[in-house]
Structure formats: C-alpha cells, structure tokens
C-alpha cells in the first residue's frame, strides 16, 4: 500500500469517533525501564516538536492514550492511541501521513517503530519545571566581553556567511558564501532550529531543541561560541533587540518545555527574567503546555512579537523597561507556528496551522490587522515577499497539508501601490504545488520563487524543489531533483531537499540535502539566474544539514 493511502487511513482513524469505554478497557503495552528511556529519547528528538511533550497535539495530532473533545454542537468526539492499537500505529509511524508527517521507516528501525508504537499508548510523564535559578546556574561566559576582539580579526565577507545547522551532531557549520569553504564547525545544542543575527551582524544566536542557546562571535579569527545558557528542556526560538538605541542589548529565547520565555543580556546571555506563558486559549480553556512557537524583533518599536502556539495568543513584549515588563496580548487562532514580516516590516504574519489561518499583526497600532482563511496546514517558515504583477505586494506561505502556495495581498504606503489596496488581506492567488512544503523563498533582486517539499511521501518530490518565474506563476518554470543534481550515490533512504536560502546578493540559492546519519549529505548551490548547479558542498563533517541562514539576509529580515 502506498504511503499516501496509509496517510488517508491514518488521519481518518485519528479524527474519527471512538467508544470511550472500549478505549478505557484497552491496556497499554508494558515497557521495561530501559525501553522507556530509549523511547523518551526518540520521542524528544523526533516527535515532541509537532505533538507536544504532553502529547496533546498542535501541528501534529493528539497522541494521548485517550482523549475526548466536545464540539460546538455539543457532540463529543473521542479517540486515542489505545483505540488505534499497535498494528495501526506501526503503519502510521512507518508510512507517514498526508498531513505532513514523514515516513519513519527510513529513519527508525523496525524495532524502534514497534517500541514507539507501544510508548505512545502509555500515559506521558510530566517533565520537571525549569526555574530562573536553573537557567542562571547553566549560564557560562566562555570569552568575557573585555577579552573579545575590538574589530573583525578575520578577512571573511561576513555578510555572505551562512550558518548551517548540522542537525544530528549538535553543531553549526559556518560556511563562507564566497568561497564555499567551511570556516568553522561550532558545537551547539542538539538539532539547532534557527540561527538569528544581532542587530549589528556581529553575533549569531543559535538555539537547539535541547534548550541550549549558544552565542557565536563572528569577529574572532576563527568564529566560536563565547557564551551559552540552557533556557529549558526543549526550545525553538530566539531573537535580539533591534530597535534603535537597543542594538545588541538584549536577547530573548522561547521554550517549548517548560512553556516560558527568557530575557537575557545580548552580549553575555546572562539571564534577566523568566516569564511563563501558561494560561487561557483563545477558546477560553486553560492549557498546561502553551509553547513559545516563534519570536521576531520589531524594527519600529522596542518590542518582540512572541507567538504562543497552543493558546493562539500573540504577545507584544516591550523591552524598554524589562524590570517593569509591559505586554500586549492579541487573540488570533490556534495553533500558532512560524511566520515573518511583510515587505514594509510593519506587519507580522504567522500561521495558525490547526485553524488553517494566517494571522496578521499591525505592530504600529498593536492590534490584529487580519485573520485570513487559507488552505490546510500553512507552514511559511518566514514566508516570502514580492510584488505580484496583478495584485501588488504579496506575502507567500506554503502548506504541509495542501497542494498550493498561498499568496496574500499586504498593505503598502508607496504611492504606486495605492491601486492594490482593494486586495489587502485577501488570498489573491493559489499557486499549484505539492503537499509537504516547509519553506518558500525569494529575494528582492531575483525574479524566481522557490519552494521545497521535504515532507511529501513521494521520494522524488521530497528530493526536489520547484521554481517559478514570478512573471508567470501558472506553473513551475522547473522542478529540480536536488538529490540527482548533487551527484551523490543514490540511496534507499530519502535525501530530503529542504530550506532554500539566498546569498546576500540574491544570485545564488542554497538547498540542504538532508540524508540519514550514515548517508553523505550535502548543500547544493544553484545559480538563481540559470538554475544550474554551481557547487556541491560535501565534507565528512557535513552531517544532516537542514536550516541555512545567510548573515545579511537574516540580519535584515530579507525573504
């Protein structure tokens, strides 16, 4: 049976009604202490990001042994992993789903799939809390500020440096965008989710899924970590203070568990304040695990936009006085995930991927500007901005669960864009793509638009990216099989082509080719004009590359 067919069956089972009495009668499979520890580790590394530490679901489905939900019509829907049973769970984990869950049969062994199917039928453990003292005790300054360089001590073109996540080794590779040479491999937290730049462009902040935040100084002769702190047990987001007068002064990092965010000094990562995000959802229900999904720094106010996944609340955190913190709470929709700025950098757009909506916040007024209905499971990354020939400025998001890229009209104060005002905050076009997209990208100096599909169950599609000419969005100009273009030996396991990222000048696009731990991975560099391969970056140290962040583009939020 094909992966897509299994996916449809899996989703229908998960969404369907189940008898609570039968679910309660079912007995969870027994696990030894060693098996439970092994399963907890796999769940943290592979599952918790989408399904939650408490398994209540968000981007992924609820994985509690038994759950029930009352609908608006008063009808109660019930389900759970116990009702699904061992055999069905093994098929779901092995083959993946059409909703964006990958097939794990080329990631986990058969024994591990069997183990995980047993594990998620057991009641999840509640992890311990993580206090301000715990955070402070973990803080390390490796190179004090007064011992750091007073000027750039290397001759690298830092604007075109790339911070590349090496997921499974817990490292970041700093790659020279001009020479394509690996300048430094820096030990960081496990599975770094993002890299963010300080306002000055000197420091790179990288946050691992294990909650470890590392500060890298690019001015050193060989860039290295100069400070680190652990902000929780599971984390995804970080940013810095970018408003004029606060450059490089503060950093903020968001935790998945415990659900909280931490404010730190920007140059040392010394913790200054820990703030819990537990509270009520937009539906008026208490949630014990409202994770910090994404954070961005405003350029027009001393504020961070902090998106709380499970509650559907967007927080505008004013850092002008962190001792007397002021926060504006904006209700949007569940479950908030990732997003980015429009071209003007006044509006922040974020995916509420369980509601199939995009929420837009006006950071000038501090209010919700729009809540836009879109296709199934939007997943924009930062999104992408360009001027559409018919509809003017638009922001784009791809989808995990739908075969389109959605274009939303965004406001502009430019006189030449006044004629497009009628389209603002409307879906103006859906570009035909394939499900399983994670990232879309373009550049102000490019005429091309790129989209990956690494979560697609089809191997060829997961290993390819689509490219459109923005003058004609009716169909892709090309579909590039990155795995074949890399010249690496073919493997049974999928080498997922993921995360297009432009060079600072907009002339190159870098694609990660994410293979298994024992497979040779690569970063494939394309010429954006010709769509031909310019360079394949391979190295024994290039293990499971995923996200790539160009220093200049990340510093200035260009996408």
More confident residue, 253 or 95: 253
pLDDT tens digits for range 437-454: 999 999 999 999 999 999
Per DSSP (E only), the strands in 410-455 are: 427-432, 440-441, 448-452
Going by their DSSP bridges, the two strands 212-217 and 224-230 should be labelled as antiparallel
> Strand 533-537's sheet: what is its strand order?
496-502, 508-514, 522-527, 533-537
Per DSSP (E only), the strands in 234-302 are: 234-240, 250-257, 260-265, 271-276, 279-280, 286-287, 292-297
Output the pTM of the full model: 0.88
Domain locations in the chain as residue ranges: 3-119, 437-559
pLDDT for 99 equals: 67
CA distance 463 to 455: 10
pLDDT tens digits for range 330-352: 999 999 999 999 999 999 999 99
Tell which residue, 495, 491, 489, 442, has the closest CA to residue 466. 442
CA distance 3 to 105: 11
User: pLDDT band at 200, cuts 50/70/90?
Assistant: very high
Indicate if 437-559 has the same CATH topology as 3-119: no
Which one from 66, 101, 193, 433 is the annotated catalytic residue? Answer: 101
Triad 282, 284, 286: Cα angle to 5°: 100
Q: What is the DSSP string of 345-396?
A: SSEEEEEETTTTEEEEEETTTTEEEEEEE-SSSB--TT-EEEEETTTEEEEE
Residue 101 near residue 120 (C-beta atoms within 8 A): no
User: For the chain, what percent of residues have pLDDT higher than 70?
Assistant: 95
CA distance 43 to 35: 12
Q: What DSSP element (H or E) covers 373?
A: strand 367-373
Average pLDDT over all residues of the chain: 93
More confident residue, 310 or 21: 310
Triad 279, 280, 286: Cα angle to 5°: 85
CA distance 337 to 348: 12
Q: Is 50 a catalytic residue?
A: yes
Show the DSSP H helices in 203-347 as ranges.
none
pLDDT tens digits for range 462-477: 999 999 999 999 999 9
Q: Give yes or no for residue 12 having a pLDDT over 50.
A: no
Residue 238 near residue 205 (C-beta atoms within 8 A): yes
pLDDT for 21 equals: 40
pLDDT for 76 equals: 83
pLDDT for 11 equals: 37
Residue 106 near residue 516 (C-beta atoms within 8 A): yes
Fold that domain 437-559 belongs to in CATH = Methylamine Dehydrogenase; Chain H (2.130.10)
CA distance 257 to 465: 33
Per DSSP (E only), the strands in 194-259 are: 194-197, 203-207, 212-217, 224-230, 234-240, 250-257
CA distance 401 to 379: 9
pLDDT tens digits for range 354-412: 999 999 999 999 999 999 999 999 999 999 999 999 999 999 999 999 999 999 999 99
Return the SS3 of 315.
strand
Which one from 51, 193, 443, 448 is the annotated catalytic residue? Answer: 51
As a whole number of angstroms, the longest Cα–Cα distance in the chain is 69
pLDDT for 25 equals: 52
pLDDT tens digits for range 173-188: 999 999 999 999 999 9
Average pLDDT over every residue of 56-81? 86
User: pLDDT band at 4, cuts 50/70/90?
Assistant: very low
Q: Which residue has the tokens 């995930």?
A: 337
Q: Is 379 a catalytic residue?
A: yes
CA distance 205 to 295: 13
Residue 437 near residue 400 (C-beta atoms within 8 A): yes
DSSP 127: P
Minimum mean pLDDT among 421-430, 488-497, 529-538: which range?
A: 488-497
CA distance 481 to 399: 20
User: pLDDT band at 232, cuts 50/70/90?
Assistant: very high
Return the SS3 of 97.
coil
Q: How many other CB atoms are there within 10 angstroms of residue 145's CB atom? A: 12
Which one from 337, 417, 443, 499 is the annotated catalytic residue? Answer: 337
| Residue 403 exposure: Cα atoms within 13 Å on the Cβ side | 6
Q: Is 161 a catalytic residue?
A: no
Quick one: three-class SS letters along 30-91? CCCHHHHHHHHHHHHHHCHHHHCCCCCCCCCCCCCCCEEEECCCCCEEEECHHHHHHHHHHH
Q: How many other CB atoms are there within 10 angstroms of residue 231's CB atom? A: 30
Token pair, residue 188, equals 């960081």
Residue 205 near residue 235 (C-beta atoms within 8 A): no
Under 8 Å CB-to-CB from 448, ≥6 apart: which residues? 442, 467, 468, 469, 470, 477, 509, 528, 531
- CA 555 from chain centre, in angstroms, equals 17
CA distance 550 to 558: 10
Q: Which CATH class is domain 3-119?
A: mainly alpha
The DSSP bridge partners found for residue 387 are: 393
Which one from 287, 379, 433, 448 is the annotated catalytic residue? Answer: 379
């Amino acid at each position: 049976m094909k992966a897509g067919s299994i996916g449809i069956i899996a989703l229908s089972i998960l969404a369907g009604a189940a008898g609570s009495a039968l679910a309660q009668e079912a007995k969870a499979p027994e696990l030894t202490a060693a098996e439970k520890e092994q399963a907890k580790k796999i769940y943290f590394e592979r599952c918790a990001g989408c399904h939650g530490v408490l398994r209540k679901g968000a981007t992924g489905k609820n994985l509690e042994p038994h759950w029930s939900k009352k609908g608006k019509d008063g009808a109660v829907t019930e389900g759970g992993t116990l009702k699904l049973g061992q055999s069905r769970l093994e098929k779901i984990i092995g083959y993946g789903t059409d909703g964006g869950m990958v097939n794990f049969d080329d990631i986990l062994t058969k024994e591990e799939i069997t183990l995980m199917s047993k594990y998620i039928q057991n009641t999840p453990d509640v992890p311990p809390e993580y206090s301000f003292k715990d955070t402070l005790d973990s803080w390390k300054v490796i190179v004090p500020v007064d011992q750091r360089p007073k000027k750039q001590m290397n001759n690298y073109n830092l604007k075109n440096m790339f911070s590349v996540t090496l997921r499974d080794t817990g490292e970041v590779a700093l790659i020279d965008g001009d020479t394509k040479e690996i300048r430094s491999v820096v030990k960081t937290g496990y599975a770094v989710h993002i890299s963010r730049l300080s306002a000055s462009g000197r420091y790179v902040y990288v946050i691992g899924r294990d909650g470890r935040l590392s500060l890298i100084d690019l001015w050193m002769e060989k860039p290295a970590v100069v400070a680190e702190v652990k902000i929780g047990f599971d984390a995804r987001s970080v940013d810095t203070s970018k408003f004029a007068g606060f450059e490089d002064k503060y950093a903020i990092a968001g935790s998945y568990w415990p659900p909280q965010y931490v404010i730190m000094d920007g140059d040392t990562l010394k913790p200054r304040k820990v703030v819990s995000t537990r509270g009520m959802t937009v539906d008026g229900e208490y949630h014990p695990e409202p994770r910090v999904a994404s954070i961005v720094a405003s350029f027009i106010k001393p504020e961070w936009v902090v998106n709380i996944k499970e509650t559907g609340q967007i927080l505008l955190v004013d850092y002008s006085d962190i001792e007397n913190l002021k926060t504006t709470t904006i209700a949007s929709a569940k479950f908030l995930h990732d997003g980015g700025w429009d071209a003007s950098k006044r509006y922040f757009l974020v995916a509420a991927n369980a509601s199939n909506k995009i929420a837009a916040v006006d950071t000038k007024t501090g209010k919700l500007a729009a809540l836009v209905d879109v296709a199934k499971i939007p997943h924009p990354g930062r999104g992408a901005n360009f001027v559409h020939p018919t509809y003017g400025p638009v922001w784009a998001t791809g989808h995990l669960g739908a075969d389109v890229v959605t274009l939303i009209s965004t406001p502009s104060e430019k006189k030449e864009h006044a004629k497009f005002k009628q389209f603002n905050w409307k879906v103006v076009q859906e570009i035909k793509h394939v499900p399983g997209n994670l990232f879309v990208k373009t550049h102000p100096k490019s005429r091309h638009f790129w989209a990956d599909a690494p979560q697609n169950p089809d191997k060829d599609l997961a290993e390819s990216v689509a490219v459109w000419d923005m003058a004609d969005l009716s169909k892709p100009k090309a579909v590039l099989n990155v795995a074949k273009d890399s010249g690496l030996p073919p493997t049974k396991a999928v080498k997922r082509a993921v995360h297009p990222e432009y060079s600072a000048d907009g002339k190159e696009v870098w694609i990660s080719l994410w293979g298994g731990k024992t497979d040779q991975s690569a970063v494939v560099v394309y010429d954006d004009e010709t769509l031909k391969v310019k360079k394949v970056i391979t190295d024994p140290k290039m293990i499971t590359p995923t996200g790539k962040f160009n220093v200049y583009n990340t510093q200035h939020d260009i996408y």
